[in-house]
Amino acid sequence: MTAKLPTKDQINSVFSAFSKREWMLFVAFIIILIVSTISILESINKSMMVSIPSRGGTVSEGIIGAPRFINPILATSPADLDMVSLIYSGLMRKNGEGVLIPDLAKKYDVSKDGLTYTFTLKDKIYFQDGTPINADDVIFTVNEAKDSIIKSPRKVDWDGVTATKIDDATIQFTLKQPYPSFLENATLGIMPRYLWDNSPIELNNANTSPIGSGPYMIKNVIKETSGVIDSFELVPFKKFVLGEPYIANLNLYFYSNENDLVTALESGTVNQISSITPLNAGILKERNYQIESSVLPRIFGLFFNQNQNQLFTDKVITKSIDQAIDKGKIVREVLLGYATAIDNPIPLSIIPYQKISGTNNPSRDEILKGVQNNLAKDGWSKGSDGFLQKTTINKSKKKTTTTLQFSISTGNAPELARTAELIKEDLSDVGIKVDIKTFDIGNLNQSVIRPRNYDSLLFGEIINHESDLFAFWHSSQRKDPGLNVAMYTNVKADKLLEDAPATVDEQLRTQKYIQFENIINQDMPAIFLYSPNFIYVVSQKLKGLSIDHITSPKDRFSDVYLWYTDTENVWKMFAPTH
């Protein structure tokens, strides 16, 4: 027998038979049913939704210094380099993980001998004014970088490299010798030839009104009456090859000093600042500002000048100095934890490999006692003033008494001055006398570093690439303008520094740098102290930032096109897959 649905009259009959109480129960049941159904559907909907970045929002960042040369060839100041990172793009780009990825290039091929790199440009790539990018722009930019008249800081990257146009979308670079880090050179921002080709590069108006193909473009500029730039308003370049950026407005404000920078943050004029001192970072962190930091490939150390003070030729003395200095205390008290204590000349971010540290962790008292014993065995004993002395007799049987002392020359920056004071205190504990000489940066460079007029130099090396190690340690760089401030000479170390950059095999190249590092640690021409952190105060709303692998402050903008402050919910099936 087939079941039938009740008729309209039957339904009405049932409802008319309801008592008032039954009607109230029925209505309550219906309401519960509706609410439960909506709740279940909403729960199902939520489970199928994901939050994704959406376009919009504003980030305002304060920067020390004013931009003057916003072009990839002449940029040297932090303000210029930051702007170049935002406005320009290269054949290659370093992402937030520190990995090189194609930018304007669709692909690249490397010959087996490592001497030829062939790049193919992507289709439909444009400068920010709509002009198509082609091989002529790439070759023009490289040739400008190589021009000895221009004296570009990027010249060293392209010396010995020949750029050849194969067709409008293909460029071939020929090297004189293999250079595995060449792809990093290919991050050089590409300049529009038509904009720069008709006037001297230093005088071109495009230096402050640049047009590139990077993630952001200039919408508005505010200048002082003197012409100095106060701020830039940047907006996304919608045709940026790696995708239109999310942040709708990126405003950059320029300040002359750190105090003004911090004041602008606290007043709300900007919501992000960078490259501040650990002291200010600590104060801002206590006030609940969001602080991000990452170790930079910078080596701060005490570099010895054996030519001026013969004491440094004695390995017992240099080893004792190394052991007596409490590097951890410097990191804690001077850098407030925004640094890493180091023992080697090569930053891990440049040549990454497992560095074995000692398993024994003797106490501070045990370390100092060992240092004192070693110096005593070397013939040093305390004089009436409490400092170590050694008496020697020459061939004429004449006695000469030498005090174990030397001077430290350094800049007058608070961190350097305080570090020098802590070193002096540590060495005084074992009987080594230290005099500290501080100079303003200009005077330090001209009167101390260039003429090599110091016993020891408390100094920082910026090592962004493998090739920088040559400038700091090869014997050919001992005299100005070379940067071998330890006046270091070692034939084996020289050979390794010459061969390693040209070694294509990564494992073999790493082994060469390990050998170089071992030689340095045996000879001890310097005491390596710490690598400082890059400190970044960022907006609480900012997402998508990655600075764990930066080698230079400007690298914080490497993945700026992925930053976002706003989100929206969409079904998973519609969410981007990248």
Secondary structure element (H or E) that encloses residue 121, with its range? strand 116-121
Domain boundaries for CATH 3.10.105.10 within the chain: 298-355+363-533
Tokens of 119: 């790049």
In order of 105, 310, 393, 445, 461, the CA distances from 183 in angstroms are: 11, 43, 59, 32, 23
Q: What is the DSSP string of 240-264?
A: -TT---SEEEEEEEEESSHHHHHHH
Is the separation of the CB atoms in 464 and 154 below 8 Å?
A: no
Whether domain 65-253 has CATH 3.30.70.260: the reply is: no
Show pLDDT as tens, one digit a residue, over the chain (578 residues).
555 666 766 666 666 776 777 777 777 888 887 888 787 777 766 766 667 789 999 999 999 999 999 999 999 999 999 999 999 999 999 998 889 999 999 999 999 989 999 999 999 999 999 999 999 999 999 999 999 999 999 998 999 999 999 999 999 999 999 888 899 999 999 999 999 988 889 899 999 999 999 999 999 999 998 889 999 999 999 999 999 999 999 999 999 999 999 999 999 999 999 989 999 999 999 999 999 999 999 999 999 999 999 999 999 999 999 999 999 999 999 999 999 999 999 998 887 776 655 556 788 899 999 999 999 999 999 999 999 999 887 777 778 889 999 999 999 999 999 999 999 999 999 999 999 999 998 899 999 999 999 999 999 999 988 888 999 999 999 998 899 999 999 999 999 999 998 888 889 999 999 999 999 999 999 999 999 999 999 999 999 999 998 999 999 999 999 999 998 766 565 556 55
| 454 within 8 A of 443, measured Cβ to Cβ | no
Phi and psi at residue 350, in whole multiples of 5°? -90, -50
Cis peptide before 178 (omega within 30 of 0): no
Domain with CATH 3.40.190.10 in the chain: 65-253
- Global pTM value: 0.87
Tell me the C-alpha distance between 556 and 548, whole Å. Answer: 9
Q: Do the beta carbons of residue 464 and residue 550 sit within 8 Å?
A: no
Identify the three-state secondary structure at position 52: strand
Q: Interior CA angle at 428 toward 427 and 430, to 5°?
A: 70
> Is residue 393 exposed (0-12), middle (13-18) or buried (19+ Cβ within 10 Å)?
exposed
Q: How far is CA 503 from the centre of its chain?
A: 25
CA 578 to chain centre: 25
- The closest alpha carbon to 90, from 187, 213, 214, belongs to 187
Please tell me the distance from the alpha carbon of residue 411 to that of residue 449, in angstroms, as a whole number.
11
Alpha-carbon gap, residue 29 to 445, rounded angstroms: 86
Q: What superfamily does domain 298-355+363-533 belong to in CATH?
A: Dipeptide-binding Protein; Domain 3 (3.10.105.10)
